[in-house]
Structure 1
Amino acid sequence: MTLLPTGKLIINGQMRDAQSGKTYEDISPWTGATIAHVADASAADVEEAIASARHAFDTSDWSRDHQKRVGLVQKLLDLFIANRDRLVAIARDEVGSANGMVLWAQVDNALKCWQDLIDLFPRVQFEKDFGDVNVGGRVSRRRGFLEAVGVVGAITPWNFPFFVNAEKVVSGLLAGCTVILKPAPDTPLAGTIFGELAIEAGFPAGVLNVITGSDPALAGEMLVRDPRVDLITFTGSTGVGKRIMREGADTMKRVFLELGGKSANIVLEDEPNFAQVVGQSILIFHAGQGCAVQSRLLVPKSRYEEAKAVLKASYEAYADAWGHYDDPHGIMGPVISRRQQERIKDYIHLGVEEGATLLVGGNLRLDKGDGWFVEPTCFVDVRNDMRIAQEEIFGPVLVVIPYEDDDDAVRIANESPFGLSGGVWSGDIDRAMRVAHRIRTGNVSVNGGMSMGGDLPFGGYKQSGIGRAWGVEGIEEYLETKVIGSVEAKA
Structure 2
Amino acid sequence: MFGDLSPLLIGGELVYGPRRFGTLDPATGDTLGEATDAAPADLDHAIAAARHAFDSTPWATDPAFRVRCLRQLHDALTRHAEELRELTIAEAGAPRFLTHGAQLDAPVADLAWIADLAEDYLWEHDLGRAAPMGVTSERRVVREPAGVVGAITPWNFPHQLNLAKLGPALAAGCTLVLKAAPDTPWCAAALALLIREETDLPPGVVNIVTGADHALGARLCADPRVDLLSFTGSTATGRTVMSAAAGTVKKVFLELGGKSAFVVLDDADLAAACGYAAFAAVTHAGQGCAITTRLLVPRDRYAEAADLTAATMRKLGTGDPRDERTVCGPVISARQRDRVEAYLRLAAEEGGEFVTGGGRPEGRDRGFWIEPTLVAGLAPGSRTATEEIFGPVLVILPHDGDDDAVRLANDSPYGLSGAVHGSPERARAVARRLRTGTVSVNGGIWYSADMPFGGYKQSGIGREMGVAGFEEYLETKAIAEGVR
TM-score (norm 2): 0.97
Q: 1:381 aligned to 2:380?
A: no
d(CA) in 2 for partners of 1:49 and 1:187? 19
The share of aligned pairs that are identical, in percent, is 44
**C-alpha distance in structure 2 between counterparts of 1:57 and 1:372, whole Å:** 42
* CA–CA distance in structure 2, aligned partners of residues 96 and 38 of structure 1: 17
- Stretches of 4+ aligned residues off by more than 3 angstroms: 2-5, 135-138
**Residues 74 and 109 of structure 2 are in contact (CA less than 8 Å); yes or no, is this contact kept in structure 1?**
no
CA distance, structure 1, for counterparts of residue 314 and residue 43 of structure 2: 49
User: Are 2:221 and 1:224 equivalent residues in the alignment?
Assistant: yes
Q: Which runs of 5+ in 1 are unaligned?
A: none
> For each residue in 1:188-231, what CA deviation from the matched residue of structure 2 results, as whole angstroms up to 9, or x when unmatched?
1111222211122121110000011011x222111100010001
Q: Give, in angstroms, the shift of residue 324 of structure 1.
A: 2.1
User: How many angstroms apart in 2 are the aligned matches of 1:101 and 1:389?
Assistant: 27
Segments of 5+ residues of structure 2 without an aligned counterpart are none
The residue identity in structure 2 corresponding to 1:399 is V
Alignment correspondent of 2:48? 51
Q: Which residue of 300, 306, 309 corresponds with 1:308?
A: 306
How far did 1:99 drift? 2.4
Q: For the Cα contact (< 8 Å) 1:4–1:35, is it kept in 2?
A: no
Deviation at 1:366, TM superposition (A): 6.3
Kindly indicate whether the alpha-carbon contact (under 8 Å) linking 1:124 and 1:476 is maintained by their aligned counterparts in 2: no
Aligned pairs for 1:314-353 (under 5 A) are: 314-319=312-317, 322-353=318-349
Pair 1:83 & 2:80 matched: yes
C-alpha deviations, 1:132-191, integer Å up to 9, x for none? 222465311111111000000110010001001110001100000000111100001111
Instruction: Determine if contact 1:153/1:180 at 8 Å carries over to the other structure.
Output: yes
Matches within 5 A, 1:126-275: 126-135=123-132, 138-200=135-197, 201-215=199-213, 217-271=214-268, 273-275=269-271
Please give the alpha-carbon distance, in whole angstroms, between the structure 1 residues aligned to 2:157 and 2:166: 14
Mapped partners of 1:107, 1:388: distance in 2? 31
Partners of 1:451 and 1:160 lie apart in 2 by 17
Tell me the distance in 2 between the aligned counterparts of 1:135 and 1:475: 32
In structure 2, the CA distance between the partners of 1:244 and 1:326, relative to structure 1 (3 Å rule), is closer
Deviation at 1:308, TM superposition (A): 1.6
Q: Is the 8 A contact 1:8 1:16 kept in 2?
A: yes
**Greater shift in the superposed pair: 85-94 or 286-295:** 85-94
Give the SS at the match of 2:371: coil
Aligned partner of 2:426 among 428, 431, 436: 431
* SS of residue matched to 1:228: coil
Q: How far apart are 1:110 and its partner, in Å?
A: 1.4
Give the C-alpha shift of residue 395 in structure 1.
Answer: 0.3
Mark the CA change 1:486 to 1:348 in structure 2 (over 3 Å): closer, same or farther: same
Match of 2:291 in 1: 293
Q: Once the 2 structures are TM-superposed, how far is the Cα of residue 328 of structure 1 from its aligned partner?
A: 2.0
1:323–1:368 contact (8 Å) kept in structure 2: no
115-124 or 233-242, which moves further after superposition? 115-124
Shift of 1:116: 2.2
Instruction: Single out whichever of 226-235 and 122-131 deviates more from structure 2.
Output: 122-131
Residue 316 of structure 2 contacts residue 327 of structure 2 at CA under 8 Å; is this kept in 1? no
Q: Distance in 2 between matches of 1:132 and 1:410?
A: 49
Given the superposition, is the C-alpha separation of residues 297 and 386 from structure 1 closer, same or farther in structure 2, using an over 3 Å criterion? same
**Counterpart for residue 416 of structure 1:** 412
Mapped to 2, the partners of 1:306 and 1:133 lie a distance apart of 67
Q: How does 1:35-46 map to 2 (within 5 A)?
A: 35-46=32-43
Q: Deviations over 1:75-96 (max 9, x none)?
A: 0110000111221122111101
Deviations 1:11-67 (A, max 9, x none): 00000112xx11111111011111011100111000000100000000011011000
**Residue type matched to 1:17 in 2?**
Y
Instruction: Note if contact 1:265-1:294 (Cα within 8 Å) is conserved in structure 2.
Output: yes
Alpha-carbon separation, structure 2, partners of 1:3 and 1:354: 48
Q: CA RMSD in A?
A: 1.5
Question: In structure 2, do the counterparts of structure 1 residues 3 and 376 end up closer, same or farther at CA, with 3 Å as the change threshold?
Answer: farther
1:325 shift after superposition:
4.2
Are 1:61 and 2:72 an aligned pair? no
Worse-matched range after superposition: 132-141 or 93-102? 132-141
- Between Structure 1 and Structure 2, how many residues are aligned? 481
Structure 1 equivalent of residue 112 of structure 2: 115
